[in-house]
A and B are shown apart, each in its own frame.
Chain A
Amino acid sequence: AQTVTQSQPEMSVQEAETVTLSCTYDTSENNYYLFWYKQPPSRQMILVIRQEAYKQQNATENRFSVNFQKAAKSFSLKISDSQLGDTAMYFCAFMKGWVNTNAGKSTFGDGTTLTVKP
């Protein structure tokens, strides 16, 4: 079974600064996908960024980027130029699978609560 660990229950950052959220996972699979989801207070969860394990290049989405270390089974999220709207709970998630196959469920970590301070 896969496990996802987020070791930072809470973090804070000043507006406009950079923050990095950590995530490690345990799996014997070689082909899988990793995700970061954001859950704002009392709002639904939405995808922030996605990484395919077979790609060596780290994914980026505007101010959000990841540092994917496959050998170390590490998948951290960097938020640059933090904004007040980034305040949310962030979840790291793992899904085994390969393109053109039917992958199963996503397994989530317990989340990191990020507060962006003005």
Chain B
Amino acid sequence: DTGVSQDPRHKITKRGQNVTFRCDPISEHNRLYWYRQTLGQGPEFLTYFQNEAQLEKSRLLSDRFSAERPKGSFSTLEIQRTEQGDSAMYLCASSYGLAGGGTGELFFGEGSRLTVL
């Protein structure tokens, strides 16, 4: 297994455009998380899935953000009508749930950097 992969690694877009990021987790992991990180800050939680079910979504997340994990494997994060404040690194992580014998450790991808002009 090559770990968590994210695509694209970099995205430059104009304000008002829609963007979509993809995350492929470690195949045997049942949990998938999306975080946002801006320069000099820690990762900020956006949402997470257990298998295909979206279990929690940050209240800070506007309706312009949506995430899916249709078959419990890869996930997509879409941002509609992007704003300059959306510029950030979007991190995906996967893990085993604790109930499944996991340790709580998150395995991160390298992130997708979004720049909104």
Contact = CB atoms under 8 A, between A and B. Distances in A.
Contact of A105 (B41, B56, B91, B105): B56
A29 to B, nearest CB: 13
Interface in A1-50: 4, 6, 9, 33, 35, 37, 43-47, 50
A113 to B, nearest CB: 9
Interface stretch (B20-28, B43-51, B70-78): B43-51
Contact of B108 (A4, A33, A46): A46
B109 A111 contact: no
Interface in A64-118: 91, 93, 95, 97-111
Contact of B91 (A33, A45, A107): A45
Interface residues of B, number: 27
Interface stretch (B11-19, B61-69, B80-88, B96-104): B96-104
A108 B46 CA distance: 12
A97 B98 contact: yes
A107 B104 CA distance: 12
A89 to B, nearest CB: 9
29 contacts: A35-B104, A35-B105, A37-B106, A43-B110, A44-B111, A45-B43, A45-B91, A45-B108, A46-B108, A47-B105, A50-B104, A91-B43, A95-B104, A97-B104, A99-B98, A101-B99, A102-B97, A102-B99, A103-B97, A103-B104, A104-B55, A106-B33, A106-B45, A106-B106, A108-B35, A108-B42, A108-B44, A110-B41, A111-B41
Interface of B: 3-4, 33, 35, 40-45, 48, 50, 55-56, 91, 93, 97-99, 103-106, 108-111
Interface of A: 4, 6, 9, 33, 35, 37, 43-47, 50, 91, 93, 95, 97-111
